[in-house]
Structure formats: structure tokens, C-alpha cells
Amino acid sequence: MRSVRISTAGCPSDYSQGLLPIIAQSLGYKLDWVKPNQADLLIMGPFMNFHAKKLKWWPKPLRPAAQTLFNSFSSRRDLPLRVFHSAENLRHDTIPADYSISFDLNINSPTHFRLPYWMEMINWSHEGIVGNQNPRYGQLMTIERLMQPLGKHFLGRTKTAAFLSSHIREPRKTLYEALQKVIPVTGFGAYFDQNIENHHASGFLKQDLLKEFAFNLCPENGMYPGYYTEKIPEAFFAGCLPITWADQNVRVDFNPNAFINLAPMAWCNYDPLTEILNSSQHLETYASQALLLNAPSILPFRDFVKRMMEDARS
């Protein structure tokens, strides 16, 4: 078995359970988790302090000379293969790296791969990839279900919306208030319950909670072409009609007719919401829509990981 020393910097604590390490192991690589300065492959995540000054522990007047000396002893052979992997709304070139994995659309580069975070939460066992998890939600989502219509069963639920949030910074605050004017909204998460320290220790499974509601207010944290997370598909998978906030390019991943997008309504103070949520005809139209119109595959990402692993060992 081929062995690769791997390390992370600025990545979530559960990164070792994500798709990249799992796929690498499925390709026959043995991953030895080491410190960054010992790695063949260094994964740099979105929480890395990339603005920190280099060699800041050196006296300031000596830093240029120290950097020159450091560079003279460093070569591509000595350095690890660097991969910037972000599940946050950051651009693919935020941190200089040999390879990058991000949400960004239309990056014409063989060293970049677009992997929206929601694909980490899919059951890929039909393509031979097993082991990824979705502990906060309660289970992995299946492509088969996401390609089926939402169905009318959500119309029989209480006509209220769930809103899970650890903060209520804009645009969440405005969207929350706009929806509250039309239907009741029940809040969950650290913002609404001060006893919850973070969303990893919420005390509930998101899927179980959403099953009690007809709607889920699930705006994206930010708006950028290609930045679409697990929020929309997790709401849909639980049988809720998603009410989100995303740019029009969201159609690259999801059927825009399968959810309510508040972003295009901002210009008119979200007034169309009242008519939509109080119209049986409108809601039945949403119920007839599938979220995925085409089945995605994880195999292109597997090929990308294979190239990275080969490069890391070369």
C-alpha cells in the first residue's frame, strides 16, 4: 500500500472524516497524519491565518535575511504539496497553493476543482465511496430522493417555518423579520438558545427537527456565484420547502423552481412572499418539483484526488 504523510492547517477538526481523505484511502493510499512540517501533502483550510507575517518570531530587521536564507534551503522537493480546500465563501486563490478545491465557478485550471459543500453530505456508496458522515443532520442524503418531487406531504404540516442559526447578522436578520410578517417562524440554535455553545453541540438532529415544519428558512451565509451549501438540500430532504437567499447561478446545482429564493424579492421588500405562502396553487407547484434535475457524480473528484496524491508522492 502506498503511504502519504498528510497534515492540515486551518481545517475543521473533523476533516479526516471528509471526502478527500476517504477517497484517497479508497484509491489505495495509506494516510499517515503528521505535523505540517513533516507532511508530503498539506491541506490548508479556510481558518488558516493567511494574513500572518512570515517569520514574525524573528527580530524585524533580520526577517528579510532570514527569509532569503530559508528560501535558499527550500526546494519543491523539500516542501509538501499544498492544497487549499475551502468549504467557506472564499475564493480559490485566497491562499497560494499547488491545488485548490472551492465553490468557485468557471475556473479554467487543471489544478482547481469545484466541490460545493453539499456534495460532502451525499451518500456516494453507489459509486464505491463510503465513510463520509453528516452527524449534525442525522444521515447522509441520497441523490435518488433529491431527484424526486418534494411531494404534497409538507402541505399537511403546520404552516410554520424553522430557522436554525448561531447568529442573526445580515442578511439573516432582515430575512427572518420579513418571513415573520407572513407566517410564524421558530428559531433554533445558539442564537435562540444561550445554553448551546456551538452548532456541533446543539443537542438535536437537524433532520428530526425539520420534519415538524412545512418550511425551512435557510439563507446562505453570503452571496457569491457558486457558493451553495448543504442548507437547501437538507431542508428538501427533510420534506420542507426551502426558503433561501442565493444568487441566480444557484441553478448550476439545484432546480430553482424547487425552492423559494428571497434574493430576487429584495427590491420590493419581499412583498411576493405573502401571495406565495398563502396560495395553494403556488405551493402545489413547488411540491411537484425535484431539487436535482441531473444526477451528480463524485467520480470526477476521485480522479482529481488521484492526480494530487500522485503529485504528492513524486
- Using CA atoms, how far residue 159 sits from 151, 179, 192, 271, in Å, is 15, 12, 20, 18
Count of CA atoms in the C-beta half-sphere (13 A) of 69: 7
Q: Does the pLDDT value for residue 257 go beyond 50?
A: yes
Listed range (136-145, 186-195, 238-247) with the worst mean pLDDT: 186-195
Q: Model confidence at 193, in pLDDT bands (50, 70, 90)?
A: confident
Contact 149/203 with Cβ under 8 angstroms?
no
pLDDT at 195: 72
Residue-wise pLDDT tens digits, 57-87? 556 665 565 566 555 545 445 689 999 999 9
Mean pLDDT of 236-253: 98
DSSP helix/strand/coil, 113: strand
Q: Does the pLDDT value for residue 104 go beyond 70?
A: yes
Q: Model confidence at 56, in pLDDT bands (50, 70, 90)?
A: low
Write out the DSSP string of 37-97: GG-SEEEE-TTS-TTSPTTTTS-GGGHHHHHHHHHHH--TTTSPEEEEE-SSS--TTSS--
Count of CA atoms in the C-beta half-sphere (13 A) of 286: 23
Q: Report pTM.
A: 0.90
pLDDT at 177: 97
